[in-house]
Structure formats: C-alpha cells, structure tokens
Structure 1
Amino acid sequence: MLLRRVITAVIGIPVLLALIYLGGWPLIGAVALFEAVAVYEVARMFEAKNMTFFARMAVFWVWALLACQAFHWPLVWGILAGLLVIVVGAVVLGREAKSFEGAMTTAWVSLYVGLLFQFLVALRALNQGRRLVFVFFVVIWATDSMAFFIGRRFGKHKLMVHVSPKKTWEGTLGGVLSGVILGIIASPLIHVRWFDGAIFALLVAAIGVVGDLLESQFKRFTGVKDSGGILPGHGGILDRFDSALLALPFAYYLLKGLGIR
C-alpha cells in the first residue's frame, strides 16, 4: 500500500507541477478532466447509497462554470446555465419519482466541484500565479503529511471520531503549524510580508482540514472507503483534492485582499 502511494506520488506530483508551470489551456484541460472524474466518483458513491444523481448534467454544469473562468465570462452565466438544465431536464421533464432528489444532489455536487475547482485556474491567473499555486499546494501537502506522521507518533486525543476516527488533535495542530512555518519560509517567494505568509498558510491549512473532514463525512454517509481508485494507493480525485478544493477560494480572495491581482 505504501509503495503504491509513493509510486503514484512520484509520478503524479511532477505532472501536477508541470501543469501549474504551464498554466493556460493545459491546466484548464486538466481541470476539466479532474472535474469529470470527480463527478463520476460521486455518481458511484450515490449509487452505493441508492440515491438519484444525474452525472451527465453535473458534468455539463461544472464545465459551464469552468468555461466562464477560461473565457472570462461572468460566473453567473455558468450558474444559470446549469440551473436551467437541472430544472428543465430533471424536474420539469423528469419521469422518475426521485427526479427531484436527483436535482438536489446534482446541484450540490455541481456547485461543490465546479465552483471550487475553477478557483485553481483563477489562482494561477493572478500575478505570480505560478508561485502562488505552488506555495498553496506545498502548504496543503505539508499539512496533510505532517498531520499523519505527528498524529501517528504523538496522537492521543481524537479530533472527530464520528467523521474520521484516525485523526487526532495533536496531528491536526502539528500539521497546521508545519504549514504555517512553510508559509513564513515561502513568503519572500510570493513577495509578501512574513506575517501575511503566515496568515495565508494558516487559512489554507485550517480550511484544508475542514475540507478533508467534509469529504470524510460524505464517504461515511455513502458507505464507501475511497471516492475512487484512479490513483493507486491514494484513492480517487476527490480523495487527493479534498483539502485543496475548499481552501482554494479562501486562498484566492485572501491574496486579492493583500493586493495581489
């Protein structure tokens, strides 16, 4: 298991870093692929729970939101386009008794995956976007990795047993502190004061923990261990991006608030 995780990381991290370096359409194309895979992972999870979900409508919606970001259109057009498809296709023309349930699950997943993932493209489009996204992921990965190792060695007090039984307060706080230290070290790289770098890393690390717990709760709700198996040893796309997804919009707007455009 550990060997597969290492092999996947050795291959996957350079690929992601290359996409971040290139930005533009290569990154947009990769995000579109990530979104589609994430949607079908959710479809499998809802199927395990015997709940209605319209995967093709969700893919249309997340891609509509991504298109707004790619072509610099108002985001509201993507939201309205997806909403129209769901309302007409699932509710008005839907023939299944559970079509309304499908409309609700599809809307939630589309906005969660589509709205949050497009902030990866938005963050990369900022000045120094290449460095900002790089630092963002370094903080996320450091927080996650150090939380695992510190929790395994020193963890005694459970964080939220009913959501993620293995997470501890010691591991979580150690992971967040590690992320903050890296944020301070990396602050000259993104041309911000050390204090701003610390606040940026604290926000990213802390919100990342919440995003991780959110996905853990969703998996427990649907009764699956991993969202998918596309990444050997790591699970699915949602398993790998759970911390980053929720943290992306917070990172973006904090940096905008710091004057980075």
Structure 2
Amino acid sequence: MAKDNLAQGGPDGQGVLLHLAYDEALARERAMLASADGSPGLTWKLWQTEPCIVVPRSHVNRSGFEPAAAASAARGWPVHTRDTGGGAVVQGSGVVNLSMVFSIGAALRDRIGTSYRILCEPVMTMLRHRGIHGAYRAIRGTMCDGIYNIVVGNRKLVGTAQRWRYLGRERPGEHAVLAHLVMFVDLDHVQAAEAINALYADMGIAAGIEAATHVNWVAIEASADFSDAGSTAEAIMRQLDDACRAVSLDDMMEPDIRAREA
C-alpha cells in the first residue's frame, strides 16, 4: 500500500463488495464526503444495489418527471436521485460501483481532470495488467455520457461523476472530492437502454441510448470463467479493492503541480 493512502475496503467484516439498498448507498456516500477533513490519503467503498434507474436530482424539476418515474417503477425500474450530475444510469446485479473520497489542493492546475484520473486509476491498472487498452472518451449513445468514460474498443465500460465540498477558510483552496464510478460487469444493455429510453420518452425527451455503445467486463476478459455472475462481481471487486490500495495520490498529483510551477 502506498504510504499516502488511508485504505478502507468493506467495513465490519462484510467483505469487499457491499450489497446496499440505494438510499443506504447514497447516505454512505454523503457521510464519506461530510467526514472528509483534508487529511492525506483516500477512502472508498465498493457496492452494488437493486435494479433501478438513478438520475441527477435536477431531473426532479423536469416537466413530467413524477408520472414518468411512476411508469418506470411499474415496469420494474424504480427511479432514484443522486447528488452528482449527468444523466440516467441503470443499476443492478450487473453493475458495480466505486465511491471514493480524497482531498484536492489549490496547487493543482487541472483539478477536475486529476480527480477523475485518480478515481479511474484502479480500473485502468486492472486493464493494463491484462494488456487491454483503456481510454478516456465520450461515446455518443451511452448512458450518462462524459469525457471521462473509460472506453474499451470504442465502447463504454465505466461511467464517472464527482462532487466537491469546500473545506473552509482554514484550508484555503482545498476541497474534499466525492468521486464515483459505475462499471458494467454483465449488465443486459438492451434491457438497460430500453428502460432509460422509456423513462425519458415519458418526459418528452429523446434519449437515444444504444445498447451497442456499451461493453461488459465479461466481454473483454475472455479467459475468465463467468459461469457464476455473483462470484464474478466479487472477484472483480477484490481486484479493484487491491488496485485502490495501490493508488498513490502523490504520484498522480505531482506532475500536474510541477507543470503549473514551470
């Protein structure tokens, strides 16, 4: 473990991968961000939740949101809100989540980009160790598209988001960052695209989500045995937990700081 990290995997003997109701997962993320005080290192949680659609809180103010959410729930896809921005994302047993908290100082030039790269480094490390090329890129037609998607073979494997909290006048320019990624393990992307497109259609919005723009981990690691999806998720999360422990915040931030000072 890198000396500048404070490791936190699955708490209280529950294992690395937590299985949480969505409201509980959101409450834990909020608590992580609220407790951050600028101390060095990072903490994280790895979790899954029940099948649902998660949207940013801003969607609640859209015309027709409430009846659209009710119709989605009737189709088997209850709708929840989150604190970060972006668009709708499907959750369920085929998806794993990494919630990470760390602090960012004023000396960084590219604070948002650096924060996303810190969040994504564990997944990128896992890909590199397998000889798989991962890139950061927006892919039209994906759920909650963004320039810090992790893309493999021009298809989206991981989506990302972040939320910041100012640490106060006693720590000028410093922020605590809640960074969150969603990785597709063995999600039914056809079903997911249909669910999100239907939700947005009921709000009068053409979402244009396409199943073929996404990829699952099980599709890119062909040598593994994926006969048991539950065991697959647990195995991947143990590796992801180890990769989180190996992240060095100093190593990831120092190049940006040196570039600013040059």
TM-score normalized with structure 2 length: 0.30
Query: Which structure carries more relative contact order (alpha carbon 8 Å, separation 6+)?
Result: 2
Name the structure where helix makes up a greater proportion of residues.
1
Query: How does the TM-score come out when normalised to structure 1?
Result: 0.30
